[in-house]
Structure 1
Amino acid sequence: MEDKPMYVEQKTNGKYLLRDKYKDPYTGKWKSVSISLDKNTPQAINKARGLLQDKINMKTEIDPKNLNLSFGELYEEWYKYYQVQNKRTSWIKVPFYMDKHVFPIIHKDMKIAAIDSSLIIKVIDQMYTFGDYSLNYTKQTRTTLSTIFNFSIDKGYLETNPVSKTKIIVKREKERQHRKKISDKYLEKEEYQALLKNLYLDDRKRLQAVMAEFLLLTGLRYGELIALQWKNFKNTSIFIEGTLDYTLKKLSEAVKTSTKNISSERIVDLPNRAVQILKEQKEYNSYKFSVLPEDYIFLSKPNAPLSIHAFNKSLKEAAKEVELQKNVSSHIFRHTHVSILAEDNIPLKAIMERVGHSDANTTLSIYNHVTKKSREQITSSLDNIF
């Protein structure tokens, strides 16, 4: 598009528009600007001409810093806001995958005005299309990039988000293989029984044993488990009102914060065995620690719950001893809890509310996967036809 002089355009309501074009200093593209006229006379046009030029000056007046802002500078500014607005467990992971996946392609010194969708696609291709990273992990990285560029729009640095023009083309065969691995994310009955038995046989791992069983019976996240205080336990239920940041080196210094999301704040009704575990834990704590309302329930030492690293280490050792060929961590009990309820045909909505899921897809990935027990029930039913 070439630069053209001002011109008058008549509107259907009898009025006029004085139009002109200007080049956007950020994108280099030509854009149109106009101002309303009551009359198409030289006097009216001359008066509006100055106002129109003022309008153009406002649109083309830029802060040199913004025009030359680098991607690294944009990221640093965005990250400060992101840290304030999100929980530590969310923002602590961002620098890692930015350094690993994004900055090698979208360099920190690259001007944000020069970043287009082709660079975003290159990140996606390297991670997922031609790489070995999962679809969900790649989506998470793409979403982070989109959030960064939306921030730049809010700040007035850019007008468009280059991520919005990209999409991830799903590799069907890879996702089929991924679905096969879902069974590795939860434990069958004989597997969790063997694991718990191994933990309970070692007196040094008593705490890990009761915590693992309690996770299995409730479907809690690990951060929710270690944030449980005696005031949260009443009769036969627990109130999930917060979480502890288990990424901190010293859990004794951790502060209880809000739950992961609104859906995560909930009341969880306890089966008899879970109630028994808490009563036994209260008796155990009464002579080793204390049982004041503000005290945490599952303590490894005074005021300090067991770190997730120590817990997972014990789980992996136990899994190795019972020859369990699965990657066992605290989260596998949450998935196992969902699978147990799904096997008993508990409605999806009820399961979501119990485990505090806001996104149905998270629960569905386990819920829709047919477990060994369900498959056996199907064949057993068919065998009994005659």
Structure 2
Amino acid sequence: MFFKRLDNGKYRYYEKFYDESEGKWKQASVTLTSKTRQAQGEARRRLGVKIDKKILEHDERYKQKQKFQKMTVREVYNEYKIFRKQELKDSTYAVQSVMLNSVLKNILDDLINNVSASYFQRYFMSSLNSLRYKKSQKSLINLFFKYVLKLGYIEYNPLERVELPKQRKTIEDIQKKREKFLSIDEMKKFKQSFEVTPREVRMNCLIEFMYLTGLRIGEALALMWENINLIDRKLYIKYTLDKNSTSIMEFKLNSPKTIDSYRVVSINDRCVEILNTMKQLNTEVKRKNELFVFLSLTGTLINPDTLNIYLKKIAKKANIKNKKPEMFSSHMLRHSHVSLLTELGVPIKTIMERVGHKDEKTTLQIYTHVTKKMKEDVDEKLNNLEL
């Protein structure tokens, strides 16, 4: 042991010790007010306690590190899933689990410390999924490894070294974006191809209602009569249907997608007609979910997958120019509502509030394209003007 006098008049005592867990010499220190024999004895006692504590801490850390090195991806992933299930909605958890499982399934029995960045780089480079989907997968895997790193299971996050190639936009990509919504005239043509069997009439009502309100499919199917004020012509969007973690027959209701999705949506005369039609139609079937608006012939909620199949069928029949039938889905109706409001001259901020968009990117893409088309139409009309 040795000591040094400090500028403030106190004395700092030092003792060296060898840390076997790290294989190197270290130093402990304590500060006392004097250098008397009694003070030196006290310093020796305190240093002994401090060194014993440090050795014990390092020993425990070493044992823990050894234990972590024997853990498999499966063990850590199962622990992570318990954590994530507590903070996510069931529907979100189900979707994210599918995305994570597809990436991790081939390395579940590998040691977590042996997982390399090259595995993920090869996975994403060989994947046939869209760049957007791969970005989502990478983001979720990155969250997993951040959790693992924070708990000390690994020493670095392999996802930090993984790169996704930038997407080259083709004319076909640009055309696809234009196909994702219908103009007013296109929607009129689409409606003319509706089929009229009792089963299809119910889906026709849902399709037109979503087009006129901009509701997500989950929000429309979760709509209950108690959430509708026909006098004031308002819809109170409070729930969305969980169609991912369970079946349509055993559905669950969740809170809406984001805080902006809690909203009040005004409805027009045609929406009121549709709601009255559904109320009448629902009296004609054995209602298993009588609180809800959009029921099928069997009295259960209309199946979103069945609706999407029907939309593609009608799209093929309608044969709308530059609109491929395979592009049609329930979400296209939501985009079409944004297009509708844009054509009607509604400000973008008001559109975002009505449809519950938190991120203006999607709204802005449709808004920009439709306003550009409107300007082109004006130019054409002016060119053809004869006085």
CA distance in 1, matches of 2:174, 2:2: 62
Aligned equivalent of 1:361: 361
Q: How far 1:301 sits from its partner (Å)?
A: 4.0
Aligned equivalent of 1:242: 239
Match of 1:213 among 208, 215, 228: 208
TM-score using structure 2 length: 0.79
Structure 1: tracts of 5 or more residues without a match = 1-5
For the pair shown, which has the larger CA radius of gyration, 1 or 2?
2
Structure 2: tracts of 5 or more residues without a match = none
Match of 1:137 among 133, 137, 160: 133
CA distance in 1, matches of 2:171, 2:6: 58
1:207-262: CA deviation from partner (whole Å, max 9, x where unpaired): 11110000101111111111111001013110111122234775343232222222
- Aligned-residue identity in percent: 27
Aligned equivalent of 1:374: 374
Shift of the 81–7 alpha-carbon distance from structure 1 to 2, 3 Å rule, reads farther
CA distance in 2, matches of 1:109, 1:11: 56
Aligned equivalent of 1:295: 291
Q: Which amino acid aligns with 1:254?
A: F
Q: How far 1:36 sits from its partner (Å)?
A: 5.1
CA distance in 2, matches of 1:381, 1:203: 43
CA distance in 2, matches of 1:223, 1:367: 24
Q: How far 1:141 sits from its partner (Å)?
A: 0.2
Which residues of 2 match residues 82-161 of structure 1 at below 5 A? 82-104=84-106, 107-127=107-127, 132-161=128-157
| Cα pair 2:90 2:245 within 8 Å, conserved | no
Does residue 265 (structure 1) correspond to residue 262 (structure 2)? The answer is yes
| Cα pair 2:215 2:355 within 8 Å, conserved | yes
| Cα pair 2:116 2:158 within 8 Å, conserved | yes
CA distance in 2, matches of 1:75, 1:125: 23
Does residue 183 (structure 1) correspond to residue 178 (structure 2)? The answer is yes
Q: Which amino acid aligns with 1:348?
A: I
Q: Which amino acid aligns with 2:74?
A: G
| Cα pair 1:9 1:18 within 8 Å, conserved | no
CA distance in 1, matches of 2:218, 2:87: 19
Q: How far 1:57 sits from its partner (Å)?
A: 2.3
Aligned equivalent of 1:192: 187
TM-score using structure 1 length: 0.79
| Cα pair 1:153 1:160 within 8 Å, conserved | yes
Give me the CA root mean square deviation: 3.9
**How many aligned residue pairs are there?**
369
CA distance in 2, matches of 1:37, 1:22: 18
CA distance in 2, matches of 1:23, 1:181: 64
Q: How far 1:181 sits from its partner (Å)?
A: 1.8
| Cα pair 1:33 1:56 within 8 Å, conserved | no
Aligned equivalent of 1:282: 279
Match of 1:320 among 298, 312, 316: 316
SS at match of 2:236: strand
